[in-house]
Amino acid sequence: MNPILSEFFQGTCFNAYDYFGAHATIRNHQQGVVFRVYAPNAFVVELIGDFNNWTPVQMTPSRSGVFELFWAEAKAGQRYKYRVHAFEQDSYRDRCDPFGRCSELRPNTASIITDGAKYQFSDSGWRAARGNHYNQPINIYEVHAGSWRKHEDGSWLNYRELAESLIPYCKAHFYNYIEFLPLAEHPFDGSWGYQESGYFAVTSRYGTPEDFCYLVDQCHKHGIGVIMDFVPVHFIPDEYALARFDGSTLYEYPDHSGVRLSEWGSCNFDLVKPIVRSFLQSAADFWLTVCHCDGLRFDAIRNVIYLQGDERNGVNPSGTYFLQQCNKGLRARHPHALLIAEDSTNLIKVTAPVQYDGLGFDYKWDLGWMNDTLSYFMLPPEQRPAAHHRLTFSMSYFYDNLHLLPLSHDEVVHGKKALLDKMWGDYDQKFAQCRTLFTYMYTHPGKKLNFMGNELGEFREWDEALQLDWNLLEYPKHIGFEHYLMDLSQFYLENPALHQDEYDMRAFQWLDANDSEHSVYSYFRTAGGQTLLVVLNLSNRKYPNYTLQFDRPTTLRELISSDTSKYGGRDVTNDWVIYSDDHNRAQIVLAPLGSYIFRVTQ
């Protein structure tokens, strides 16, 4: 038996895409394509496509359940499907290839033969230079490829056009990673890619697989990593894809289980089955190996840990086993890849190594930080003293896992309001608070992720059918806000105190976490021979002589003020060197809803 096939049946395969699907090859001195599909419960599987005028030709079955056929006239660019007869009756379903590398543009569903070796990457230097990322700044720009920008006629930018415009934009805004919402093939634009039909097919909405590889290659050329959103929980229930693929529930849970369908109406992957684990492990590896992505964000991990995401069902051992083995295998193949969990559970070993009974992720989205932070900023100032510790709570559990701070697409849709519009107050107060929100985010320990448009000060919720409101940059407040985010991102990248050793408790220290009366927070960040002091005023009052109490003589020099006029503020700043007095106290001025970063010498 082929070694890939053997591993596939054992649930240990990470490159099943090299065996299954459509592959150019030579047999009996003839150039052609070999097609392989796993359908163990099918009665007959036939191949149809452009190369045979869509006339069904039976594929050869094997005892292992794999159907195979070599076709000499087949070539790259031609469409094909598998006609799967589940029973002896005449009924059948025409299926796209589960391992197909390309698909027709929706609503059409045929797979397309590709030339797997067509694109030649030039990023060997980038890949060789990747190393330990724990002490490096990670500033992620989360992007939906179809709605970042559009042409004047409303059509999408293709992958190569995105390379021309998105990369310089990210460079100018000091993002060093781009995370794409899922780009595996999917039929419904409104799913944003989270209900997929082709796990090995880069969506044809924006071009070919080679075009996408070009985009990744260009990102690497300009020092930007690429993270792909990966969906290991569920798949579409449509008849042309994986659901009841060979007449049986091959990839999903059986009907009698009660969990075949997810809360979204999609089919849950049955992670008990070795072939399903191999399928998903191979899909994950595909983005890292074939497409040269630098990391994966695993979606909806709560639903892997708990069936249907419900803690009352208890931990799903097949789910945690899959995550452990998947991450362990990916780590062995890609030592420096970023493996990120979008997980809302309270498990404390999500980012612990598998050998220590952890799930093996590098980072976990800190959704608790996100929820507490946004709920606080929605409150009117008079209610904030009672909710003061919503902004301090995150540090009480921060070291339980390695956290990433997300302000993602999920927070600006479905009636939740745009980020800026969530803020309490009038027009000016919303901007002032949002600047301070980002000061808090970029100075709080943890890697960073922002959804596209956050930097513009959008007032409109994100809509995948529309491009971002770029016209906002015609208005002074929005221009100043964008400049603040740019300067803050640059400051984060360039100052080691904000990213080195951030998972070491010694790198963060509260100066005063308890000043609820004034709604003021102050804390130190220390690393790389540098100490910074951050002060946040979340009240709507100006404090012209706010007192800071130190434990030793201290000198402060202001580096960033969110209230600077070029950012849209009123220039309430500390433009002088500040020395503590004989009692180690220092006084600073704080703008209403303002934030400040100081260099500290002691």
* Mean per-residue pLDDT of the chain: 96
- pLDDT of 89 reads 66
Nearest to 37, CA basis, from 77, 79, 96: 96
Is residue 335 within 8 A of residue 358, CB to CB? The reply is: no
In the chain, where does the domain assigned CATH 2.60.40.10 lie?
Answer: 3-112
Using CA of residue 514, residue 519, residue 525, residue 531, what is the dihedral sign?
negative
- pLDDT of 423 reads 97
**Secondary structure of residue 538 in the 3-state scheme:** coil
- Homologous superfamily of 505-601 in CATH? Golgi alpha-mannosidase II (2.60.40.1180)
Phi, psi of 377 (to 5 degrees): -70, -15
Residue 365's beta-bridge partner residues? 404
Yes or no: is domain 138-364+448-498 CATH 3.20.20.80?
A: yes
Nearest to 199, CA basis, from 185, 210, 188: 185
- pLDDT of 1 reads 77
pTM comes to 0.96
Cα 443 from Cα 446, distance rounded (Å): 9
Strands in 520-527's sheet, in edge-to-edge order, are 508-515, 520-527, 530-537, 595-601, 555-561, 578-579
Distance of CA 468 to the CA centre of its chain: 19
R_g of the chain computed on alpha carbons: 26
In the chain, where does the domain assigned CATH 3.20.20.80 lie?
Answer: 138-364+448-498
**DSSP per-residue codes, 331-369:** HHH-TT-EEEE---S--S-TTS-GGGTS---SEEE-HHH
**576 DSSP assignment:** S
Is residue 174 within 8 A of residue 486, CB to CB? The reply is: yes
**Secondary structure of residue 594 in the 3-state scheme:** coil
SS3 content of the chain, % helix, strand, coil (to 5): 30, 25, 45
Domain 3-112: assigned CATH number: 2.60.40.10
Cα 511 from Cα 521, distance rounded (Å): 8
- pLDDT of 118 reads 79
List, for the chain, all residue ranges whose pLDDT scores fall below the cut of 70.
88-89, 116-117
Q: What is the pLDDT of residues 123-172, one digit of tens each?
A: 999 999 998 899 999 999 999 999 999 999 999 999 999 999 999 999 99
Nearest to 49, CA basis, from 113, 106, 107: 113
- Maximum distance among all alpha carbons in the chain? 93
Cα 481 from Cα 475, distance rounded (Å): 10
Query: In this structure, which amino acid lies at residue 418?
Result: A
Give burial (CB, 10 Å; 0-12/13-18/19+) of 467.
middle
Q: What is the pLDDT of residues 241-285, one digit of tens each?
A: 999 999 999 999 999 998 999 989 999 999 999 999 999 999 999
Cα 99 from Cα 82, distance rounded (Å): 12
Cα 116 from Cα 121, distance rounded (Å): 12
Cα 448 from Cα 442, distance rounded (Å): 7
Which residues 6+ apart lie within 8 Å of 283 measured at CB?
Answer: 17, 184, 199, 200, 230, 232
- pLDDT of 362 reads 97
In the chain, where does the domain assigned CATH 2.60.40.1180 lie?
Answer: 505-601
Q: What is the pLDDT of residues 533-552, one digit of tens each?
A: 999 999 999 999 999 999 99
Give burial (CB, 10 Å; 0-12/13-18/19+) of 61.
middle
**Secondary structure of residue 599 in the 3-state scheme:** strand
The per-residue b/e assignment along 8-40, b for 16 or more CB within 10 angstroms, e otherwise, is: beebebbbbbbbbbbbbeeeeeeebbbbbbbbb
**DSSP per-residue codes, 439-505:** HHHHHSSSEEEEETTGGGT--SPP-TTS---GGGGGSHHHHHHHHHHHHHHHHHHH-GGGTTTTTSG
Is residue 542 within 8 A of residue 484, CB to CB? The reply is: no
Supply the residues annotated as catalytic: 299, 342
Is residue 205 within 8 A of residue 433, CB to CB? The reply is: no
